[in-house]
Homo-oligomer: A and B are copies of this chain.
Amino acid sequence: MVENDVRHLINRKLEHVEVTVFGDVSRKTYTMLEDVTLVHQAFPGISLEEVNTKAKFLGFDVNAPIMVTGMTGGTPELGKFNGTIASVVEELGLVMGVGSERIVIENPSSEESFRIVRRNAPTSPLVANVGMPQISRGYGLRELEKIVSVIEANALAVHLNVAQEVFQPEGETDYQEEVLGKLKDLSSQMGIPIILKETGCGLSMETVRKFSSYGFHNFDVSGQGGTSWIAVEKIRGERRGNWKSKSASLFSSWGIPTAASVIETKWADPASFVVGSGGVRNGLDIAKAIALGADIGGFALPVLEASLEGRDAVKQFLSEVEFQVKVAMLMSGSRDVSSLKKAPIVILGSLKDWMESRGITFSTYDKVRKGGY
């Protein structure tokens, strides 16, 4: 990759951070978590202190079912955000992912902005990150091992972002089925699990079924309702006078709302491990996502925003989220995360209609989410 391309990649990443943080790219649509109610239990049978938020992340113990999903890295400035977030994640005992590490392959000097994550979070589960198009376009074991080793990752997220690529002038929309076989082969040679991860448009039951048939069973749904990459590309396109920008605007509410996506994913692969993310904004959203079938909830943008204000802001934000998860657990009568998965819920409005349209009856799904499949 010539130097210009690297600069280009870095600039794009910086612009992404800037646009997502300062542009108005989220909450144009909704997650359908709004349509979910955790049923209040006036007599929880436990005290707040007894609520146990400990969760499992792909075999690792974490203090609460909270993950910061992959966002950044590549330049010293971005590395600083990574470092800040990592040190809070370590202190609170949570999970963290990093942004796409393509830059590491193409520009070794960017490594430091990722290495800081493991340095600041020595015992936390960390998730490396690479795009599916990179696998399509040639990344092999060597590249993936590099990407993983930089943060001594415990898992590798392979992200899917067709909706974004399609509106980028420089977009790479290579999503041929062959790549899944290739990725499966690579994964069997690597020592860590693969997470297939969306980036704001959600996973459907059809997509999950395809993945499952190749032996992939870990998913980060990253549904619609939070950061919209289509909206980001719309803004970037406008700045450059890219004619696709108008179409990006048309598609800015495209995607599967997060709540629907968690349900579709669990419905298609009931034994899968699911990160419920995309527009998750607080501990109540996380609790709802888990009650719907997720194993852990994930945030991106809100944590990045806090990190701009500094370590204290990140810590305060994530501590409040943890408290909120705990409160939601207590008041829904959930002693631990596995009870929360079985907590009574009510589904109203569009999410109810969505399920109906997709042939998912509430009573059958109720068994699925509770593990009785």
Contact = CB atoms under 8 A, between A and B. Distances in A.
Interface of A: 38-50, 132, 160, 162-163, 166-167, 171, 173-177, 180, 196, 198, 201-204, 206-207, 210-211, 224, 243-244, 246-247, 250-251, 254-256, 282-284, 316, 320, 323-324, 327-328, 330-331, 333, 344-350, 352-354, 356-359, 362-363
Copies in the complex: 4
B324 A166 contact: no
A47 B173 CA distance: 5
Nearest to A346: B357
Contacts of A356: 352, 362
A202 B254 CA distance: 27
28 contacts: A38-B254, A39-B206, A40-B202, A40-B256, A41-B204, A41-B207, A43-B211, A44-B173, A44-B175, A45-B175, A47-B173, A162-B330, A201-B331, A206-B344, A207-B333, A243-B320, A247-B323, A250-B282, A250-B283, A250-B324, A251-B327, A254-B284, A344-B358, A346-B354, A348-B354, A348-B357, A352-B353, A352-B357
A323 B357 CA distance: 28
A132 B46 CA distance: 12
A249 to B, nearest CB: 10
Contact of A333 (B206, B324, B348, B352): B206
Contacts of A255: 40
A373 to B, nearest CB: 19
Nearest to A248: B327
Contact of A39 (B42, B177, B204, B327): B204
A320 B246 contact: yes
Contact of A357 (B320, B327, B347): B347
A334 to B, nearest CB: 11
Contacts of A163: 40, 331
Q: What 9 A-B pairs come out closest when comparing CB atoms?
A: A48-B173, A42-B160, A346-B357, A348-B353, A45-B177, A40-B201, A44-B175, A47-B173, A42-B198
**Most central of A163, A180, A243, A250 by chain B CB within 10 Å:** A250
A344 B204 contact: yes
A162 B204 contact: no
Given A39-B256, A42-B201, A175-B44, A358 B330 contact: no
Contacts of A349: 350, 353
Nearest to A257: B37
Contacts of A207: 41-43, 333
Nearest to A319: B243
A270 B162 CA distance: 34
A359 B347 CA distance: 11
A246 B321 CA distance: 11
Given A40-B255, A251-B284, 7 more contacts: A40-B204, A42-B201, A42-B203, A45-B175, A47-B173, A247-B323, A346-B358
